[in-house]
Each structure stands twice: as C-alpha cells, then as structure tokens.
Amino acid sequence: MSIGHTLLGLLESGPRHGYDLKRAFDEKFGHDRPLHYGQVYATMSRLLKNGLVEVDGVETDGGPERKRYAITDAGITDVAAWLAQPEKPEPYLQSTLYTKVVLALLTGRDAADLLDAQRSEHLRLMRILTDRKRQGDLADQLICDHALFHLEADLRWLELTSARLGRLAEVVAP
C-alpha cells in the first residue's frame, strides 16, 4: 500500500496538520498497524520535495511548531493517476504451503496431517475475523471480508490438495 498516495488522498478534503493526518489514516486504514509519526513526517517531506504538497501555515500555540499541509494541483493529478491505475494482482506462485506439502511427501511424513493442521489454523483465524466483523462497523466488515475471502481461497486449495495427495505423491516421488 502506498502511504504517500493515501496521505495525499486524505489531504484532498482540505489542509491538515501532520498529527491529524496520522489520526485519520489510523482510523480508516490502520487497524492492525498504526503509523509512526516519523513515518508521516518522512513521507510529507518527500511529497513536499516533489511539489505534490505545500505548507499551508505553521502554528505554534505554546508547543512545538506544527506545519499545516495542503495538496497542490500536481498532487491532485498524482492521486487521480494512482487511483486510475489498476493494482497488479498477486500471482501467489511462491507458496510456502506447497513447499511444505511436497517436502512432507518426499520425506515420508504425513502430508494430510499437515494440511489438516493448516486447515484448522485457517478456520480459527476465520472465526476470529468473523467475530470481529460481527461487532465492527461497515469498514471493519469490508476489511475482514477481504481477508476472509483470501483465507477461504486458501482453504479451498487445502481441500483440493488433500483430495489429490495420492497423485501428487506419485508425481513428486523420486
């Protein structure tokens, strides 16, 4: 996820202080990992250097000085371009699970047990996410759903693999 573009996007609704930006980001997107203030500061100075934001004003009411940032026209164009650009789908071609299964087969260990254990773990996480989704708001639900669908896809792969373990063993056998 591009933090720069996200912060730029948040600035489009009006100028904000750096701390405001961090709070807004955490609230909307940072469920699991809140931003460090340093990260905000570093990003903003990069954007400033590239001319995508400008300093709107500085406040010093008693404390340390706080810059207010505003987005520039170039910044708006940059956000628009980013949003219009489709994300490249993850190819998921390098799978640790696949590697584990093949290794288990090669070393004569029980691959089915491995898959079952993984299945249980996946489902456990799904239950947690489902529970959170039930208590959360719409944003929570959407984020959890995103994760749930991915986990479900993994689970389907696990099911399919356990159904084909026999054939896979023949193929990978030395």
Partner 1 sequence: MTPAGSLLEAHDLRKTYGPTPALDGASFSVHPGEVVAVMGPSGSGKSTLLHCLAGIITPDSGTVTYGGRELSAMSDAERSALRRSDFGFVFQFGQLVPELTCVENVALPLRLNGVKRKQAERTALEWMERLEVEDLAAQRPGEVSGGQGQRVAVARALAPSPKVVFADEPTGALDSLNGERVMELLTESARTAGTAVVLVTHEARVAAYADRDVVVRDGRSRDPEYAV
Least separation in angstroms between CB 130 and partner 1:
4
Using CB under 8 A as the binding rule, whether residue 127 contacts partner 1 is answered as yes
What gap in Å lies between CA 5 and CA 20, rounded to an integer? 16
Least separation in angstroms between CB 66 and partner 1:
44
Q: Which is nearer to partner 1, 100 or 119 (CB)?
A: 119
Q: Which is nearer to partner 1, 36 or 127 (CB)?
A: 127
Residue count (the chain): 174
Backbone phi, psi, residue 65, to 5°: -75, 140
CA dihedral sign, ordered 121, 124, 130, 134: negative
Residue with tokens 């934001």: 53
Return the CA Rg of the chain: 23
Interface of this chain with partner 1, residues 142 to 171, rule: CB under 8 A: 148-149, 151-152, 155-156, 159, 163
Interface of this chain with partner 1, residues 90 to 119, rule: CB under 8 A: 116, 119
Q: Which is nearer to partner 1, 20 or 152 (CB)?
A: 152
The token pair at 69 is 């940032």
Q: Which is nearer to partner 1, 48 or 125 (CB)?
A: 125
Q: Contact at 8 Å (CB) between 21 and 10?
A: yes
Residues found near partner 1 in the complex (CB under 8 A): 116, 119-120, 122-123, 126-127, 129-130, 134, 148-149, 151-152, 155-156, 159, 163
